[in-house]
Structure 1
Amino acid sequence: MTQGAQDSPGSGVPAARPRTLHVPQQPTAADVDRHETGRHEGVRGEHTHGERPAERRPVVQRASVRGQILDALRTALVAGELTPGEVYSAPALGERFGVSATPVREAMQQLALEGAVEVVPNRGFRVVVRDARELAELAEVRALIEVPVVLRLARVVPVERWAQLRPLAEATVRAAATGCRATYAESDRAFHRAVLALSGNAQLVRIADDLHRRAQWPLAGGRLGRLGHADLLADASEHTTLLDALVAGDLDVVRALVEEHFTGA
C-alpha cells in the first residue's frame, strides 16, 4: 500500500491507489468445484449465491480473510503506509485488497479497539495521530513491566533456557539487515514475547506485547522514529548482547542493557 490516498470526487474519503499490498486471492466457484474435499488455494471471502452445499465449503472461511486483512493493515501502519490523520474507507481499502468491504471493516474495528484508528461516521476510519510524548509514555510503561521481570528471570532461569532463545535474537539481526521496519517489528516483538514467556504469565505476555505493538506505530506526520537502517541494526544487536549477558549470568550488565534498551525504544 502506498502512503496516503487521493480523494474520491465529492466524497471527502481517500480513494484507492494502485494496489501494492497482497492478500491471497479468493477462490471462484469453479475453484470450489475442483476441490470438493476442502483442499483449496487462496482464501474464501463472503457468502455468494450459488455456493456449494455446506459440506463442500472450503475449510477457510471469511474469518481468515479478516485475519489476513488485519495483518496487512497492521503491517501498513508500522511501515507508515497508512498516514496518521487521514481517513480511509472500507470500500476503497477493500478494492485495493481485492476483497469486499466487510472483512476490511471488521479488521478496522479491531484496530479501533487497539487504539490505532478511530471511527469517522459515514466516512471510514482515521489513523490516530500520535506524538513523541505518547511514544515516551509507552516506553516508560513497557520498562516498568519488562525490566523487573527480566531481572527476576535472570536470577532463576537456567542458562540452557536462555541459550534456546539465540535463534530468535539472531533473527532480529537478520530482519534489521533487510531495512524493512515492518519485518523488523514482527521479529522484535517475537524475541520480547519469548523472553517474557519464561515467566509463565500469559497475561503479562499479552499486555506487554500490546504495548510493544502500539509503540511501533508511526508518529504524527508519518515519522517512524528510529527508522534508519543503522538504528534497526543497533536495536537488534542489543538483543544478542542482552542474551550473552543472561547466559553469562552477569546481572549488572543485564540491568544496564534492559534499561538502556527501553530508554532508546
Structure 2
Amino acid sequence: MKQSTQGFARAGTPQRRTPPPGDAGVPAQQRAADALDGPRERDAAEPSARGEHTHSERPIPAPRPVVQRSSVRGQILDALRTALVTGELKPGEVHSAPVLGERFGVSATPVREAMQQLALEGAVEVVPNRGFRVVERGARELAELAEVRALIEVPVMLRLARTVPGERWAELRPLAEETARAAASGCPATYAESDRAFHRALLALSGNEQLVAVAADLHRRSQWPPVRRARAYLLADAAEHTALLDALTGGELDVVRRLVQEHFAGAG
C-alpha cells in the first residue's frame, strides 16, 4: 500500500526530494528542476509549440481552389447539352473524353465528369474502354415521356389555378415572352433552355422542390435527341405559354386542362 501511494504521488504531483548531506545532489536537483520547469519554458519560448510558423519549417502550399474546376466542368456540361439539343452530337455516336477535351481545349477530366452527369440524366450511356454513346430514343419513348410529364404537371397546374392569386402569374410573363423571342430566333437550343425555364418557374409556385426536380429531369430527357421543329412550330409552342398564363390568371380550369394536355401532346 505504501508503494502504491508513493507511485500515485509521482504520477500525479511530482515531488522534489532534498538530497542528504554530503550527497552530490545539486546536479540531480538541477535536473529535477529542468524536468519540472523546462517544458513550460520551452512552450513559451518556441513558436512551434503554439502552432506558429518558424523559419525552419517548410511552408504548406495552399490548396487549389475547387471552384475553378467546377466552373470548367459546368461550362463543358452546358456546351455538351447544347451540342445534344442542336444535334451536333448525334444519337448513336460514341465520343471519348480525351477527344472532346481537345475539341474544347481542356483536359479529359472535366469532360469525363460532365459526361458522367449526362449519363445520370439519360442523355448518354457509358461504353467501357471507348467513351460515351449518345442515346437513341424512338417515337414511343418520347411519347411515354410526354405522357408522364402530363400525369405529373396537369394536376399541379389545376391545383395552382385554384390557389395562386392572379398577380403571381403576372410575374411569369417575362419568361413567356422570352420563349417567344427564343422561338423567333429559330435556334432549338435557345428555345429548349427558355422553355425549361418557364415550366420550372411555373411549377416552383407549388413549393415542392422534389416535384420541380423530377419534372425538370423529364423535360430535359424529352428534348434528347432533338426533334427537328420548324420555326413556325416553335412560335406556336411559345404562344401556348402565354395562353396558359391567361387561363391560369382567369381561373379557367377547363381551358388550363386542355392547353396543358395539348401542350404535352405536341411535345411528343
TM-score normalized with structure 2 length? 0.75
**1:246 maps to amino acid:** L
Instruction: Find the counterpart in structure 1 of residue 121 from structure 2.
Output: 114
In 1, the alpha carbon distance for the partners of 2:170 and 2:220 equals 25
- Report the CA distance shift for 1:239/1:64 in structure 2 as closer, same or farther (over 3 A): same
Instruction: Find the counterpart in structure 2 of residue 186 from structure 1.
Output: 193
| 1:250 to partner: Cα distance | 1.5
Instruction: Find the counterpart in structure 2 of residue 166 from structure 1.
Output: 173
Match of 1:242 among 230, 241, 244: 244
In 1, the alpha carbon distance for the partners of 2:143 and 2:228 equals 13
In 1, the alpha carbon distance for the partners of 2:178 and 2:69 equals 32
Match of 1:150 among 145, 154, 157: 157
Q: Secondary structure at the match of 2:91?
A: coil
| 1:123 to partner: Cα distance | 1.1
In 1, the alpha carbon distance for the partners of 2:228 and 2:255 equals 24
Check conservation: 1:91, 1:101, Cα contact below 8 A. yes
Q: Secondary structure at the match of 1:118?
A: strand
Check conservation: 1:153, 1:198, Cα contact below 8 A. yes
Say if 2:71 is the partner of 1:54: no
In 1, the alpha carbon distance for the partners of 2:228 and 2:175 equals 21
Return the index of the structure with the highest Cα Rg. Answer: 2
Q: Secondary structure at the match of 2:132?
A: strand
Instruction: Find the counterpart in structure 2 of residue 10 from structure 1.
Output: none
Instruction: Find the counterpart in structure 1 of residue 211 from structure 2.
Output: 204
Please report the RMSD computed on the Cα atoms of aligned residues, expressed in angstroms: 1.5
Check conservation: 1:226, 1:232, Cα contact below 8 A. no
In 1, the alpha carbon distance for the partners of 2:149 and 2:168 equals 23
State which drifts further: 227-236 or 249-258: 249-258
Say if 2:220 is the partner of 1:213: yes
| 1:54 to partner: Cα distance | 2.4
State which drifts further: 95-104 or 57-66: 57-66
In 2, the alpha carbon distance for the partners of 1:237 and 1:211 equals 22
Match of 2:99 among 92, 111, 124: 92
More helix by share: 2
| 1:59 to partner: Cα distance | 7.3
Match of 1:141 among 116, 126, 148: 148
| 1:226 to partner: Cα distance | 5.0
| 1:114 to partner: Cα distance | 1.3
Q: Secondary structure at the match of 1:54?
A: coil
Q: Which runs of 4+ in 1 moved over 2 A?
A: 57-60
Instruction: Find the counterpart in structure 1 of residue 76 from structure 2.
Output: 69
In 1, the alpha carbon distance for the partners of 2:77 and 2:235 equals 27
| 1:116 to partner: Cα distance | 1.0
Say if 2:267 is the partner of 1:259: no
Deviations 1:166-203 (CA, angstroms, capped at 9, x unpaired): 10111100111110000000100110011100100000
Contiguous gaps of at least 5 residues in structure 1: 1-52, 219-223
**2:142 maps to amino acid:** L
Contiguous gaps of at least 5 residues in structure 2: 1-60
Instruction: Find the counterpart in structure 2 of residue 221 from structure 1.
Output: none
- Report the CA distance shift for 1:226/1:92 in structure 2 as closer, same or farther (over 3 A): closer
Say if 2:198 is the partner of 1:195: no
Percent of residue pairs bearing the same amino acid type:
83
In 2, the alpha carbon distance for the partners of 1:252 and 1:124 equals 48
Say if 2:111 is the partner of 1:104: yes
Instruction: Find the counterpart in structure 1 of residue 47 from structure 2.
Output: none
Deviations 1:112-171 (CA, angstroms, capped at 9, x unpaired): 111111111111111111101000000000000000100110011000001111101111
- Report the CA distance shift for 1:258/1:130 in structure 2 as closer, same or farther (over 3 A): same
| 1:60 to partner: Cα distance | 3.7
